[in-house]
Amino acid sequence: MKTQTRRPLGGFERFFWLLDQQRPVHFTMVAEITGTLPVTAWENALADVQQLHPLLSVSINLNENNSPEFVSQPGATIPLRIVKATSETEWVADLEHEAINRFHAASAPLIRAVLYEYQNKSVIALIAHHSIADGRSLSFVIRDLLNATNGKHAEPYAMPPSLDDYTDLPKNTLSQFPASDADVALFSQQPQAVKTTPQIQLLQLSPELSSQVIKRSKQEGTTVQGALMAALALAGKAWKSQPIRLFSPSSARETLGAGETICLSIGGGRIVPFDMERISDFWDIARYAKESLAGVSSKEEIFGFAKAVFGLITSGINAEGTVQFADTALANEYMITNVGALPFESTIGKLKLDAVWGPITITGYECSQTVGITSINGSINMALTSPSHMQVKPVLEFMEQILSMECIPLNSLSQEQSF
């Protein structure tokens, strides 16, 4: 079978390509690991993983119609930066600078890695351009990377289709639809550097509390995402007038059967406004969040989203227009992006996977913060990314306190009420 070496960008991939020319929209996923390996072992593992996933070797170039497409660059290896770390939090501060270290989309690959080495600990960070991947994608790369260090390899994937390819949208339209002259000129230049770094905060819920959140959410007729959104809305209430808007992106991967290949498999999402004057009970808020997201990952909604973005691109929107559209249509106080539970083995060879953090990203919207959530080893991990100009608030700590109070097991409540 002939390997596909190029593919036109789909509508949403192209939207991120345009948006990234105005503001950085790449993102980071991080694995904390007990154990160390020689640098060469990590380099070899990255090379092996790169062979599995076609989009880890591409650049974005303009075709004869001045339309962007992915082009495989077999000789482009994933850059690995090594940091001999000393303090436990050094890697967090360093990643705040990675958040503004922009990709030039015409240069492959559109992913890079940083290894923070401690005496008996390793932290590996993967940073990717958003046109080629989402948070779930990079979690698969982390898994494949750790497996590769232990000599376990998966079968290579084919070039993944775009979101558009799953719909009945006309094929090859975008490959013939040129970028604007201004965007073509802009694309040929190195993106402007960003001078102000964001702020990153991390918090891991204990396995006990994480289990209580899962169980109590089910008992209360909502979801873990609903409970986390309720906790975030209540925590944010301390510093923000009402209402608070939370944007929850949706995954299209499971609905479309996209598998575990690396691709941009976000199927849209919804902005959910929370008015605490109208609804104040925690579990009522959590159920409201669940109801507000009902059907967000359905095939009908994903296809509708793909067609809407396709229409936006074919309307002739340029890079500047994508920023204006995003700031208007996606205005929010928080983006809460939940990668979900990662069914990974905790021990792989000489390494033990302690935590996965992310997605860590800045949206660029005024005063908008991102909460990236993953669950692994029975714990829910939360990463808050805030713009540099915002005063750091203990949002995650407030969320933990709220969840601790509201997710007490029902049998414990019954016992308390009996006294």
CATH number reported for the structural domain that contains residue 339 in this entry: 3.30.559.30
What are the two backbone dihedrals, phi and then psi, of residue 354, each rounded to the nearest 5 degrees? -90, -40
Sign of CA dihedral 217, 374, 332, 306: negative
Q: Please, where are the H alpha helices in 315-349? A: 319-329
In this structure, is residue 236 part of a structural domain? yes
Residue 327: predicted pLDDT:
86
Distance, in Å, from the CA atom of 30 to the CA atom of 249, rounded to the nearest integer, reads 20
What residue has token string 């001999």?
A: 84
In this structure, is residue 130 part of a structural domain? yes
Radius of gyration of the chain (CA): 21
CA separation, residue 137 to residues 129, 251, 284, 363, 374 (Å): 12, 11, 33, 19, 13
CA separation, residue 214 to residues 25, 208, 283 (Å): 31, 10, 13
Give yes or no for a contact between 41 and 149, defined as CB atoms under 8 angstroms apart: yes
In Å, the largest CA–CA distance within the chain is: 78
Task: Tell me, yes or no, whether 210 and 168 share the same domain.
Answer: no
**Does residue 189 come out as left (phi exceeding 0), alpha (psi in the -120 to 50 range) or beta?**
beta
Q: Each residue of 240-253: b (16+ CB within 10 Å) or e?
A: eeebbbbbbbbbbb
- pLDDT of residue 418 exceeding 80, the answer is no
Give yes or no for a contact between 320 and 180, defined as CB atoms under 8 angstroms apart: no
What are the two backbone dihedrals, phi and then psi, of residue 177, each rounded to the nearest 5 degrees? -100, 110
Q: Judging by beta carbons within 10 Å of its beta carbon (0-12, 13-18, 19+), is residue 210 exposed, middle or buried?
A: buried
Q: Tell me the pLDDT band of 229, cut-offs 50, 70 and 90.
A: very high
Pairing status of strand 68-72 against strand 6-8: antiparallel
Distance, in Å, from the CA atom of 279 to the CA atom of 299, rounded to the nearest integer, reads 31
Task: Tell me, yes or no, whether 178 and 225 share the same domain.
Answer: no
Task: Tell me, yes or no, whether 208 and 171 share the same domain.
Answer: no
In this structure, is residue 192 part of a structural domain? no
Task: Tell me, yes or no, whether 181 and 209 share the same domain.
Answer: no
In this structure, is residue 1 part of a structural domain? no
The pLDDT tens digits of the residues spanning 152-180 come to 988 999 999 999 999 999 988 999 999 99
Q: Judging by beta carbons within 10 Å of its beta carbon (0-12, 13-18, 19+), is residue 95 exposed, middle or buried?
A: buried
Percent of the chain with pLDDT over 90: 79
Domain span at 385: 199-418
The pLDDT tens digits of the residues spanning 45-92 come to 999 999 999 999 999 999 999 999 999 999 999 999 999 998 988 999
Total domains in the chain come to: 2
Residues 6+ apart with CB under 8 A from 363: 25, 330, 332, 335, 370
CATH number, position 168 = 3.30.559.10
Task: Tell me, yes or no, whether 127 and 25 share the same domain.
Answer: yes
Distance, in Å, from the CA atom of 206 to the CA atom of 381, rounded to the nearest integer, reads 9
Q: Each residue of 388-403: b (16+ CB within 10 Å) or e?
A: eeeeebebbebbbebb
- Domain-terminating residue out of 145, 167, 187: 187
Task: Tell me, yes or no, whether 16 and 140 share the same domain.
Answer: yes
Q: Tell me the pLDDT band of 416, cut-offs 50, 70 and 90.
A: very low
Task: Tell me, yes or no, whether 29 and 65 share the same domain.
Answer: yes
- In 3D, which of 209, 250, 148 has the Cα closest to residue 380? 209
The pLDDT tens digits of the residues spanning 130-157 come to 999 999 999 999 999 999 999 998 899 9
Distance, in Å, from the CA atom of 174 to the CA atom of 161, rounded to the nearest integer, reads 14
The pLDDT tens digits of the residues spanning 345-382 come to 889 999 999 999 999 998 767 778 999 999 999 999 99
- Angle at which helix 39-52 crosses helix 135-149, to 10 degrees, equals 130
In this structure, is residue 263 part of a structural domain? yes
Task: Tell me, yes or no, whether 108 and 145 share the same domain.
Answer: yes
